[in-house]
Structure formats: C-alpha cells, structure tokens
Amino acid sequence: MHDFENEMISAFVVSSENLNQAIEFGVESDWFTKLSRANIFEYLSTLIVDGCVWSAGTSANFFMSKNTYNKFPDLLEICEVVPDWAFSVEDLADAFDALQSQRLISKMAEVSAEITSRLKRLDDPVEISADMVLKLEEIGSTSSANERTSEDIAENLIDLDSKIRAGEIVGLPFPWHELQVKTFGIPFKAVTPLTGRDGKGKSRLATFLAMTWALQGLGGAYFPYEDTDVRCLRNLASGLGGYDAFVFNRSGTSDALFQKHKECIERAKNLPIHICDYETSIKRVISKIAELKRKHGIRWAVIDGMKDLAGMKAENRTQEEVKIMRMLTSAARKYDVSIIPVMHINKVADDVWISKQNITGSGDQTKSARMVLVYQDYVPEEVKKKTYPNVYDDNFFILDAQKTSYGNRCMHGLIKNLEQGRFDEPTAPAPAARYE
C-alpha cells in the first residue's frame, strides 16, 4: 500500500499552507494509522493554532528552533522524500482523498478481521451484524467538532432574531429595498440557487449583485465558468461606470469611453472579489472557498455555470448535480458563506411561469434549498396587473424569492438595463451615482 502518511507529514513540514488546507479539508489525527504520524500531525496542528507559519525556505530553521527533530527523531528521515504534489495547490485535494481512502481501507480491514474472529468464536451472528453496522457508520461519519447543543442553537436563534428586530443584516443584502425588507437577504451558511431559462441575463444579474456586495465591503469568490474571467471583470467595470459592456465587442469605441472603461477596470480589479475560472472540480472549488475564507474572510461565492462543474461519479448528470449540491451545502455551513450557484432550467416552456412544482431534471435539487431565486423572464399578464401594471418595458422581469429562511416570499419586478450595466426597479430607477 502506498505510504501516503509519510508523504503527508513531509508535505506539512514543507509548508504550513499545506497543513492549513488539510485541516480545512477535514484531515484529523485518526486518519493516520501509525501512532507516530498521528502524534506529529497533532503537534504540527498546535503550531498552526498558535499562529506559526513556515515555508520550504524557512521550515528547516523553524523546526530546529522548536527542537522538533529531537521530539520526533524519525522526522528527518520522513522528510527526505517530499512528493511533487506538496508544491501544487491544485493537487492537494486529490492527495487528501487518497489518504482518506487509505484510512477507510485500513479501518474496514480491521472490521473484517473482527467479524472473522467473532464468527470463529461462534458469537451470535445477529449481534455481530448489529455491532459491525455501527462501526462502519462510525468509520464513514464526519467529525463532530461542528456539532451544536440545544443551548448553542438557542443562543444563535436569539442573536438572529435580535438582529432581525433591529433591522441589522443577517444575510447578503439585496440592493432593492422591498426585496430586502421582505426576505432579510440571502442567508449565510446556505446554498441559494439563482435559476431560470438560459440566455436571459442571470449571469449579469449575479455579477451585479457581486458588485453591490463588494462595494459594501462584503468580499467573495466568483467562479465565472459561463462568462470567463475576462468577461466577468468587464461586466463588473461596466456596472461601476454605468455603461454598456457589449460596446467593446465591436470596433469604433470613442476615446473618452475607452478611457472611462480603463479607469473602471482599475476600480473593479481592486474590489474584494476573487475571480477564478480554472478550478473545475467540485472538491477543488470548495478547497478554494476554504482558502479564501481563511485568508480574506469572504462572505459569499458565486458559481456561474453549474453544468461546467465536475463532481462525483454518478449514474447520470442529474444525480451528479445532486451530489454537488450536497457538497456545496456542507461547505456553506462549514465556512459560513453564502453560495449562489447560477443554474439553467431547460425543461420549462418559454411561456410558463417557473415554479418549484414544474422544475424537473437537473434543476430539481433547487427544491431542497433554503432560498431559491427564480429569474422570471416570462410574466403572465395577470401577474403583471397585480404587481406592476404600468410597466411595458421588454426588459422587465421578476426576481422571485420563492423560499426564504428568515422572511417572506417576495416577487420583485426589475428592469434589465444593460446599457448602463445595472438592474433597476421599475418605479424608482437607481441613479448612476449610486454605483460610482
């Protein structure tokens, strides 16, 4: 069996960042079958808690100053061979997977040996089966470090309700008053799909929301698989400057507008938004979210293009997306971020109002989300008469918060105003100065 335990230890000694990522991934001391390796892991983890940092260039002197090599005499031998993946952030998640698999194989072998031993002793097979089921569940279970008592939950509830009562932010705020008042924003620690038909403007809406959050100091991660990193930054710049991003898809732009565009790009690149379109594995995306949470304290992550995200092996794409959604939900809770996946619905006719009941196929997993934002590009006349009877704009749509964690459902009309890079309320368009 490949000795990932030694390789892991050597990778952690080379870089504290590697150890940080392992801890965020969920690696614990009981993942190491060798007690000596588990003890080294525990020791290194205490250094991280104390705020220690080391790298390939500083690790030797650092651990000598800590008298580490005397405490663990075999550490020098372990570190003689450092795996190539220890110097590649992208490959770390795969290595952690391999260590976890090795741990599971070892644990299951122990269970198998115990079953054989007890059967030889002629123990009751029913009792053996019941005991082994519990042991296998323990092996596959996650850490209980994040478990909360009823007292913890009650304290959290009082704090949440107090903030709502005082009108404080309890989630990512909407830039439109009515929607914010009714829903209290997009909840933290949750996945909130932004869904609707393809090609209607969801990506631009997601970019616009990201811009407004960043302007309020709420940093985040943006994975623009649908638009690429270049178009994402261009859209952010146009939103800041109030001009049409599409004008740069053709020649003949005026010198004045291009100069303004360059100034807005400079502003956009300094927003607390970390753009990443090169991580296409769900595990690596979550690892990136964890890294940005630790380093920059991000509060949200937009994943624009769930269909481009590779996940776990499954029977079909729908089942794969369900698994991806579960992993994102777990990550949102663990890292206290709002995750907004932009998802396409292709199986609802163009002249049908989108509801939870008629979402099927790859969009079906939105039904279990705590909040769902539906981009309703088709608005029946009876709905428009009840909500915005005097609006005749072809760019009118309704952002439909069909489920909410804290507040009430809200159907809020908006105008897609891409010529000025923003989304306005029909009754009270936001002035351009608001975004400058």
DSSP summary character for residue 143 = P
Question: Residue 129 class from Cβ within 10 Å (0-12 exposed, 13-18 middle, 19+ buried)?
Answer: exposed
How much helix, strand and coil, in percent to the nearest 5, is found in the chain? 55, 10, 35
Tell me what pLDDT residue 427 has. 62
Q: CA 190 to CA 344: how far, in whole Å?
A: 19
Q: Is the pTM of this model over 0.75?
A: no
Q: Does domain 4-140 have CATH number 1.10.860.10?
A: yes
Closest CA to 92 of 11, 16, 10, 2: 11
139 vs 345, higher pLDDT? 345
pLDDT digits (tens, 9 = 90+) for 1-55: 457 788 888 889 888 888 888 887 778 888 888 888 889 999 998 888 788 899 8
Which residue type does 275 have? I
Q: How does residue 202 score in pLDDT terms, banded at 50, 70 and 90? A: very high
CA distance 40 to 219: 35
Q: Provide, rounded to the nearest whole percent, the portion of the chain with pLDDT above 90.
A: 25
Lowest mean pLDDT among 15-19, 57-61, 169-173, 363-367: 363-367
The neighbouring-strand residues paired with 400 are 374, 411
**pLDDT (0 to 100) of residue 145:** 44
Residue 398 has pLDDT above 90, yes or no: yes
CATH topology of domain 169-435: Rossmann fold (3.40.50)
The CA angle 172-173-178, to the nearest 5 degrees, is 145
DSSP 288-338: HHHHHHHHH---EEEEE-GGG-B-S--SSHHHHHHHHHHHHHHHHHHHT-E
**DSSP bridge partners of 300:** 220, 338
Model confidence over 288-342: pLDDT tens digits? 898 899 889 999 999 998 776 655 555 566 667 777 888 888 889 888 999 999 9
How far apart, in whole angstroms, are the C-alpha atoms of residue 184 and residue 169? 7
**Contact in structure between 300 and 339 (CB atoms under 8 Å):** yes
The confidence score (pLDDT) of residue 34 equals: 84
Q: Residue 400 and residue 202: Cα distance in Å, rounded?
A: 13
Residue 183 Rama label (left phi>0; alpha psi -120 to 50; beta): alpha
Q: Express each pLDDT in 204-261 by its tens digit.
A: 999 999 999 999 999 999 999 888 899 999 999 999 999 998 887 777 888 899 999 9
Q: What is the C-alpha separation between 269 and 283, in angstroms, rounded? A: 26
DSSP bridge partners of 424: 415
Q: What is the CA radius of gyration of the chain?
A: 26
Distance from the first to the final alpha carbon of the chain: 59
Q: CA-to-CA distance for 13 and 19, rounded, in angstroms?
A: 8
Cβ count near 27 (within 10 Å): 22
pLDDT at 144: 44
Report d(CA 258, CA 262) in Å as an integer.
6
Residues contacting residue 245 through CB under 8 Å, at least 6 positions apart? 231, 234, 235, 237, 238, 418, 421
**Cα–Cα distance for residue pair 372/50, rounded to 1 Å:** 40
Give 141's Cβ-side CA count (13 Å radius).
11
d(CA 43, CA 209): 43
CA distance 184 to 176: 11
Three-state SS at 36: helix
In the chain, where the domains are located: 4-140, 169-435
CA–CA gap between residue 286 and residue 303 (Å, rounded):
11
DSSP state of 126: H
Closest CA to 330 of 25, 31, 28, 100: 25
Q: What is the pLDDT of residue 399?
A: 94
